[in-house]
Amino acid sequence: MSSLQSDKSNILVNLCKVAAISGIVLYLASVFLFHNPVSEFFPPLRLPFPSSEPDASASPTNISHLMFGILASVKAWRHRKPYTDSWWRPNVTRGYLYFDVAPSGDLLPWSPLSPPPRVSDDITELLKESKHGHPITVRMVHAILELFREEREGVRWYIMGDDDSIFFAENMIDVFGKLDHTKYIYVGCNSESLKSNVDFSFNMGFGGGGFALSYPLAEALSKDLENCFKRYPYLWSADQLTMACIDDIGVSLTVNKGIHQIDLHSDLSGFLSSHPQVPLLSLHHFDLVDPIFPKMNRAESAYHLSKAADVDQSRLLQQTICYYKQNNWSFSVSWGYSAHIYESVIPRTTLKKPLETFKPWVRNTRPPLFIFNTRWVTNDPCEAPHVFFFDSIQKRSVNEVVTSYVRAAPRGLSACSSNHSADYVTRITVFSSATKLDEYGRSECCDIVHVDGEDVAEVKFRACMKDEIIA
Ligand SMILES: *[C@@H]1O[C@H](CO)[C@@H](O)[C@H](O)[C@H]1NC(C)=O
Ligand SMILES: *[C@@H]1O[C@H](CO)[C@@H](O)[C@H](O)[C@H]1NC(C)=O
Ligand SMILES: *[C@@H]1O[C@H](CO)[C@@H](O)[C@H](O)[C@H]1NC(C)=O
Ligand SMILES: *[C@@H]1O[C@H](CO)[C@@H](O)[C@H](O)[C@H]1NC(C)=O
C-alpha cells in the first residue's frame, strides 16, 4: 500500500470511527430520551468493521474454492458414473460422493477418476429425536452438514447436487466469483416445469441441478440443521426442507438461469439450442431425457459435450444468431452443441424461444407447462430448421477455436423458396475466439462466409460493434 493510500484509509477509518461513535451517542441518547422503540427513528447500527480478513477473500475465485457434495446411490452408480466422471477432474475438483450404502463388489477398488466416496451418516437417532418422518429427505439434507464438517479450509462455496447431473465448474468459478462469498448467499434455480414450481416453490433451488451456499451460509445452516429437522418434521421434499431451513436464517434464493433441473422429458435439443444468455452451470436428469446427441448413448453424450466444455465453457450452449442475406437464411448456433439453418429471415426474438421438441415433466397436465416461452415444432419449410449437431473441436491457433457441426438427418421438406434450399449443406464450421466470453447480457455477433453450392457453411464469431443491429 502506498503512503498516500494508507493516509487515505487512515482518514477513512477515522471518519468511520467518528460516524460510529456519533451513531452510538445518538442511539444511546434516543434510548434514554424516548420510551418509544427507537428502531422506528434510527436504522440499525452498521459497525464499520469488515467481518473477515480482506486479503484471503479478495483473491480471485478458483477451482479450489469450490466444494462439491454429490448425492449418489450405489444401485444407480454403475451407469451414472460416466456423467460425473465426464466433468470431474481428479485431484483438482474438491468434493465427495455421499452414498446410501458403502460401495462394494465390482465398484472396488474405487476408481481414481471419480470423486472420493463417503457413506451418509447413520441418522437413526436423529430421526427419533427430530420425529422427522422421511429418512431419505433427512439423509439428503444432512449431507450439507457432512460436507461442511469434512472440509472447510479455503472453501468459499459448497455446491450440492445429484449424481445424474453434469456440472460446469469453470463457469461456476466465473459466476460465483462475481458474488461476495463472505455474505450469506443461496444460489439455485427454479424448475422448468410450471407445475413443479407451483407444487414445491418458486423460491427454492431445485437440488438435482445443484445449489450453492456461500461459506457463512453453509456454516449457519450446519449449526442449525438438526434443530431445523425438528421444526419441519412433515416436509418430505429435501429441497423444500433445505429452503425452509435457509428461510429461517433470513436468506432468499438468488436465481441463476444457468442451473438446469431439467424437469423435462424426451428430446432436449430445442431447449439446449436456445439457452438463456448466461453461463451454463449444470444439466440434471441426464438419465430421464433422450441422449442429447443423436447416435450416441447417454455416457457418450456426456463425454462428447465435455470435449467442447474442456476448451471453452464460457461459450458452451451460448446462442449466436446471424443472417445470410443473399439467400435469406438465418443461422442460430448453440456453441458446442448444435447449429440450425432456417431458409428465411426469422427475428432473433423468435429464435431465442426454444423449439418445443421436449415433453412436459408431468404428462397430461394442462398448459401453460413451462416457465419460459416456446415455439411449436412445425413442417413449414420456412420455419423448420435444418439441424446440425456438434461433431468436433480444434484449437487452430492461440486465438482461434474451430467447432464443427454435422447434419443429423435430411430435413425431408421442400424448400422455402424454390431456389434457396439449404439441403446441400452437410456441415457448419464455426470460428470463435480462444478468449473467454465475459459479457453475458449481450451475445456475440457473427458473419456467414459461405459460397453458394458448397456443402460446408462457415460462420465466424466476432464481438458486436457499438450500436450494431442484427436483423
Ligand atoms: C486458489 O487461490 C488460493 C488463494 O485464495 C491459492 O492459495 C490457491 O493456490 C489457488 N488454487 C489454485 C488451484 O489456483
Ligand atoms: C491424485 O493424487 C494422488 C496423490 O498425490 C496420486 O497418487 C494419484 O495418482 C493422483 N490421481 C490422478 C488421477 O492423477
Ligand atoms: C428475401 O426476402 C425478401 C422479403 O421476403 C424478398 O423481397 C427477397 O426477394 C428475398 N431475397 C432472396 C434472395 O430470396
Ligand atoms: C428464385 O425463384 C423465383 C421463383 O420461385 C424466381 O422468380 C427468382 O427469379 C429466382 N431467383 C434467383 C436468384 O434465381
Q: List the pLDDT tens digit at each of the 471 positions of the chain.
A: 333 344 444 444 444 444 444 444 444 343 333 343 333 333 333 334 344 444 556 899 999 999 999 999 999 999 999 999 999 999 999 999 999 999 999 999 999 999 999 999 999 999 999 999 999 999 999 999 999 999 999 999 999 999 999 999 999 999 999 999 999 999 999 999 999 999 999 999 999 999 999 999 999 999 999 999 999 999 999 999 999 999 999 999 999 999 999 999 999 999 999 999 999 999 999 999 999 999 999 999 999 999 999 999 999 999 999 999 999 999 999 999 999 999 999 999 999 999 999 999 999 999 999 999 999 999 999 999 999 999 999 999 999 999 999 999 999 999 999 888 999 999 999 999 999 998 888 999 999 997 767 899 999 999 999 999 988
In-domain check, residue 31: no
Rg (CA), the chain: 26
- CB 358, CB 267: distance < 8 Å: yes
Last residue of a domain, one of 216, 234, 261: 261
CB under 8 Å, gap of 24 or more: what pairs does 368-372 form? 368/194, 369/193, 369/194, 369/195, 370/192, 370/193, 370/194, 371/190, 371/191, 371/192, 371/193, 371/194, 371/197, 372/192, 372/276
Q: Which ligand is nearest to the CA of 346?
A: 3
Closest-CA residue, ligand 1 atom 4, reads 59
In-domain check, residue 34: no
pLDDT at 67: 98
Separation of alpha carbons 110 and 102, rounded Å:
11
Closest-CA residue, ligand 3 atom 9, reads 328
Report the nearest atom of ligand 4 relative to the CA of 417.
5
In-domain check, residue 15: no
List the CATH number of the domain containing 409: 2.70.130.10
Closest-CA residue, ligand 1 atom 14, reads 62
Q: Amino acid letter at 108?
A: L
Separation of alpha carbons 32 and 30, rounded Å:
5
What is the whole-number distance in angstroms between the Cα of residue 240 and the centre of ligand 1?
34
pLDDT at 293: 98
List the CATH number of the domain containing 207: 3.90.550.50
For residue 161, the cross-strand partners are: 70
- CB 96, CB 150: distance < 8 Å: yes
Same domain flag for 339 and 402:
yes
SS3 string, 253-282, reads: EEECCCCCCCCEEECCHHHHCCCCCCCCCE
Separation of alpha carbons 376 and 368, rounded Å:
13
Same domain flag for 334 and 234:
no
Last residue of a domain, one of 241, 261, 281: 261
In-domain check, residue 411: yes
Closest-CA residue, ligand 4 atom 11, reads 419
Assign residue 416 a region (left: φ > 0; alpha: ψ between -120 and 50; beta: otherwise). Answer: alpha
Separation of alpha carbons 110 and 117, rounded Å:
8
For residue 401, what are the domain limits? 314-462
- CB 241, CB 298: distance < 8 Å: no
Q: Which ligand is nearest to the CA of 414?
A: 4
Same domain flag for 90 and 224:
yes
pLDDT at 50: 41
CA nearest to 98, candidates 127, 69, 137: 69
Same domain flag for 364 and 236:
no
Residue 327 Cβ inside 6 Å of ligand 4? The answer reads no
In-domain check, residue 269: no
Same domain flag for 113 and 204:
yes
Q: Amino acid letter at 164?
A: D
What is the whole-number distance in angstroms between the Cα of residue 174 and the centre of ligand 1?
14
Judging by DSSP bridges, how do beta strands 456-462 and 445-449 pair with one another?
A: antiparallel
Last residue of a domain, one of 223, 245, 261: 261
Which of 85, 88, 89, 91 most suits a substitution to test ligand 2, by most atoms within 8 Å of the C-beta? 91
- CB 258, CB 187: distance < 8 Å: no
In-domain check, residue 24: no
pLDDT at 57: 62
Please tell me the total count of domains within the chain.
Answer: 2
Which of 327, 419, 420, 421 most suits a substitution to test ligand 4, by most atoms within 8 Å of the C-beta? 419
Same domain flag for 251 and 331:
no
Closest-CA residue, ligand 2 atom 2, reads 91
C-alpha cell at 467: 450500436
In-domain check, residue 109: yes
Residue 417 Cβ inside 6 Å of ligand 3? The answer reads yes
Same domain flag for 428 and 330:
yes
Same domain flag for 237 and 378:
no
Same domain flag for 433 and 352:
yes
In-domain check, residue 142: yes
- Residue 448's SS3 state is strand
Same domain flag for 253 and 365:
no
Using a cut of 0.95, tell me whether the model's pTM lies above it: no
What is the whole-number distance in angstroms between the Cα of residue 343 and the centre of ligand 4?
14
Residue 419 Cβ inside 6 Å of ligand 4? The answer reads yes
Closest-CA residue, ligand 4 atom 12, reads 419
As for ligand 1, residues whose beta carbon falls within 6 Å of it are 56, 59, 62-64
- CB 435, CB 399: distance < 8 Å: yes
Same domain flag for 245 and 319:
no
What is the whole-number distance in angstroms between the Cα of residue 328 and the centre of ligand 3?
6
Same domain flag for 211 and 104:
yes
